[in-house]
Amino acid sequence: MATPHNKGNVNDFAKTVLMPGDPLRAQFIANTYLQNPKLVNSVRNMLAYTGTYKGKEVTVMGSGMGMPSIGIYSYELFKFYDVDQIIRIGSCGTYQENIQLFDIIIAQGASTDSNYASQYQLPGSFSALASYDLLQKAIDASKKRKANFHVGNILSSDIFYRADGDAWKKWQEMGILGVEMESYALYCNAAYLHKKALTILTVSDSLVNHQETTAEEREKSFTEMMEIALDLI
């Protein structure tokens, strides 16, 4: 069944989907790592490819930026495409002094400044957590690769250019490892639809010391995160 955002059929999609933010990154991953990648969606250029990795079927699809975008695509994958697990691979800014550029952050949980979870009308606030199963596998894979990795709570923010430039320090105080813009919605969708999700991030910038990575450096460091994600399928 097609949706307004996805022209693929149910059997075009694997049970596991890797989701980078950038659809061209999805294309790059498909061409670099997958055998027989087949384009299964191109609506709005949100490219999705299905192929095999070490004999296992996997789909790689862009999510776009922000919770509204990943909210749509991940909901449809879980609900209408029979997908069991989504592994987001992205970048983040770190809030902590002990975390270096290119380190890997595995998001055990996501906090947020978004009201995404208000739709569930819960009598309180919702703690958005990764699948424990995927989390454990990602930690094992990271240890095996001797990656510099951190596991904990991240912030999924609706705002990249925030008026109050010091607001992040309040999250830093609470031990938040870094900031990106998608995982809270992804984890909510997984919880609501009884599916699995995990986010693995590469640190691309630091709010603490204002260091940034170049596009070329990001490409290289991305490989480690990608290979950890592929170990999970």
Please give the residue ranges that form the binding site for ligand HPA (CB under 6 A). Answer: 91-93, 157, 160, 179-181, 204-205
Q: How distant, in Å, are the alpha carbons of 5, 8, 123, 147 from that of 80?
A: 12, 10, 28, 35
The DSSP letter of residue 3 is B
Residue 218 and residue 109: Cα distance in Å, rounded? 24
Residue 27 CB, nearest distance to ligand HPA (Å)? Answer: 20
Residue 50 CB, nearest distance to ligand HPA (Å)? Answer: 27
Residue 181 and residue 178: Cα distance in Å, rounded? 10
What is the chain's Cα-based Rg? 17
Residue 179 CB, nearest distance to ligand HPA (Å)? Answer: 4
Are 197 and 107 in contact by the 8 Å Cβ rule? The answer is: no
Residue 188, token pair as written in the block = 């909510």
Residue with smaller CB distance to ligand HPA, 98 or 121: 98
- Characterise 45 by phi-psi region: left (phi > 0), alpha (psi -120 to 50), beta (else): left
Residue nearest to ligand HPA (CB): 93
Residue with smaller CB distance to ligand HPA, 83 or 181: 181
Q: Catalytic residue among 82, 103, 205, 231, which?
A: 205
Pairing relationship of beta strands 48-53 and 56-61 according to DSSP bridges? antiparallel
> Length of the chain, please?
233
For the question of residue 205 being annotated catalytic, the response is: yes
Residue with smaller CB distance to ligand HPA, 92 or 228: 92
Are 75 and 121 in contact by the 8 Å Cβ rule? The answer is: no
As annotated, the active-site residues are: 205
